[in-house]
Amino acid sequence: MQAIAEQKSIYLQDYEARSAQLDEPKWLARLHRHGIERFEAQGFPGRTVEAWRKTDLTPVLREHFVPSGGPGQVDSGLIEKAGALGKAHRLVFVDGWLDPGLSELGNLPRGLTLAPLSEYGERLPAVIQDALGAFIDTASHPFAALNTAFFRDAIVVHAARGATIEQPVVLVHLLTPGADRRAVYPRAVIIAEEASQLRLVEQFIGADEPFVLNCPVAEIVARQGANVDYYKVQEEGAGSAHLGAVHAEALRDATIHMHSFACGARLARTDIYANLIGAGADVTLNGLYLTNERQYCDHHTWVNHKAEHGTSRQLFKGVLQGRSETVFDGLVKVFEGAQKIDARQENRNLLLGKLALAHSNPRLEIHADDVKCSHGSTVGQLDDEALFYLNTRGIGFDDAQGLLTFAFADEMLKPIRLDALYEYERQALFQRLPGAEMVREMS
Partner 1 sequence: MALLEIRNLRAKIQGVEILKGIDLAIERGETHAIMGPNGSGKSTLAKVLAGDPSYEVVDGEVLYQGRNLLDLAPEDRAREGVFLGFQYPVEIPGVSNTYFLKAALNAIRKYRGEKELDAMEFLQLIKERAKSVKLDEALLRRPVNEGFSGGEKKRNEIFQLAVLEPYLAILDETDSGLDIDALHSVAEGVNSLRNEERGFLVITHYQRLLNYIIPDKVHVLLNGRIVKSGGKELAEELEESGYALFEDAAA
Q: Return the number of the residue (253 or 399) whose C-beta is nearest partner 1.
A: 399
Alpha carbon distance 136, 48 (integer Å): 22
Q: Beta 217-222 vs 255-262: how paired, if at all? A: unpaired
- Least distance between partner 1 and beta carbon 351 (Å): 17
> In the window 278-317, what residues touch partner 1 (CB under 8 A)?
none
- Least distance between partner 1 and beta carbon 415 (Å): 14
Cα–Cα separations (whole angstroms), residue 70 to 19, 73, 102, 131, 166 = 17, 10, 16, 27, 33
The SS3 assignment for 297 reads: strand
Alpha carbon distance 185, 361 (integer Å): 28
> In the window 404-443, what residues touch partner 1 (CB under 8 A)?
404, 406-408, 410-411, 438, 441-443
- Least distance between partner 1 and beta carbon 66 (Å): 46
Give Cα 253 distance to the centre of its chain.
Answer: 24
Q: Return the number of the residue (281 or 395) whose C-beta is nearest partner 1.
A: 395
> In the window 377-406, what residues touch partner 1 (CB under 8 A)?
383-386, 388-397, 399-400, 403-404, 406
Q: Return the number of the residue (27 or 397) whose C-beta is nearest partner 1.
A: 397
- Least distance between partner 1 and beta carbon 411 (Å): 6
- Least distance between partner 1 and beta carbon 3 (Å): 47
Q: Return the number of the residue (66 or 390) whose C-beta is nearest partner 1.
A: 390
Alpha carbon distance 219, 228 (integer Å): 12
- Least distance between partner 1 and beta carbon 346 (Å): 15
Q: Return the number of the residue (62 or 414) whose C-beta is nearest partner 1.
A: 414
Contact present, 263 and 237 (Cβ < 8 Å): no
Buried b (16+ CB within 10 A) or exposed e, 145-160: bbbbbbbbbbbbbbbb
Judged by CB under 8 A, how many residues of this single chain contact partner 1?
Answer: 27
Buried b (16+ CB within 10 A) or exposed e, 244-257: bbbbbbbbbbbbbb
Q: Return the number of the residue (254 or 429) whose C-beta is nearest partner 1.
A: 429
Applying CB under 8 A, the residues found at the interface with partner 1 are 383-386, 388-397, 399-400, 403-404, 406-408, 410-411, 438, 441-443
